[in-house]
Every structure is written in structure tokens, then in C-alpha cells.
Amino acid sequence: MTSDITIMSTNLNKNILKNYPDYSIIGGEFTNNDLLKYSKVIFYEVLNNKKEEEIKELFSFLKEHHIAFINVTNNEEQVLLTDYLIIYDKEKILIEGSTLEVLKQEKLLKRLGIALPFMVELSLLLQDYGLIKDIYLDYKSLEDALWN
């Protein structure tokens, strides 16, 4: 398991935080400097009001300072910002692994009500139509694969 993790769940409940007793729960407003006193932090649905660039900067800051972190979220786009993904079904771990490997189990995830990040879903659908062969996470690579 890596030091940066996203957790998604079929229905998010604070009880899952009990599984990570050595992590400090971050809630409400905070600055990056506030986080320096911790070695492990867990964000429980507190990053949704931030723009993607702000979250990327926050995660880079944490990595730079060797602070392990878990982001618990229902926002499917945020899963691509960490290398490791854990999917809970209620309060039990259902699947975990590298983010892209977990996301490839699209049928299971969708059955659970968990959405895929847009670029992953689009890539998988375009694969079904035989238009591309890989998953593309950035626009230029997808465009090159489709039109060039």
C-alpha cells in the first residue's frame, strides 16, 4: 500500500475511520502548515469545495513533507489524484489496489453505485466501440489516439 490513498464507499459513514486509528482526522478549515504536525492525515469529505488544482497542490505538499494521507470522498474525479484506491461496501473493504486496476472493474463499481472518473469511463466506452485501445487520462493523448 502506498502513502496516498483514496477511499470511496457505497454509502460513506464515519465508522470506516475507525479502521485507521493512527491517522489524524482533518475537518473544517485548515492551512498546509497546520498539517505539518502530523505524520498521517485523513480527509473525510472536506476537499470537495476545493478546485482540482488546489487538491493537487495539497497532495504534493503532503508528499514533499512525507505525510501519509487518505482522502475519503464520493467525488469520482478525485480518485485519480492518488495511486491507491480502496472501495468499501458499507463498512467492509470490497476491493483495493492501484487506482487504475481497481477502476477497470467498472461493472462491479457501477453495480455498487460508484461512478468512474470521466476520462476513464469515456476511454472504456470508446474501447467498446473499437476506437481506442488504452485508457487516456489527458485530453491531448486521447485526441492523438482518436484522430492521428
| Contacts with other proteins, residue ranges (CB under 8 A) | 10-13, 45, 48-49, 51-52, 73-77, 112-115, 117-119, 121-122, 125-126, 129, 131, 139-140, 142-143, 146-147
The alpha carbon of residue 27 and the mean position of all alpha carbons in its chain are separated, in whole angstroms, by 18
CB of 104 to other proteins, least distance (A): 18
The owner of cell 467492509 is 92
CB of 41 to other proteins, least distance (A): 18
List, in sequence order, the alpha helices (H) in 36-129.
Answer: 52-64, 99-103, 106-112, 118-128
Nearer to other proteins, 26 or 114 (CB): 114
Cα dist from 128 to 95, 111, 124, whole Å: 24, 18, 6
d(CA 142, CA 123): 8
d(CA 123, CA 128): 9
Nearer to other proteins, 1 or 146 (CB): 146
CB of 139 to other proteins, least distance (A): 4
CB 115 within 8 A of CB 121: yes
CB of 37 to other proteins, least distance (A): 26
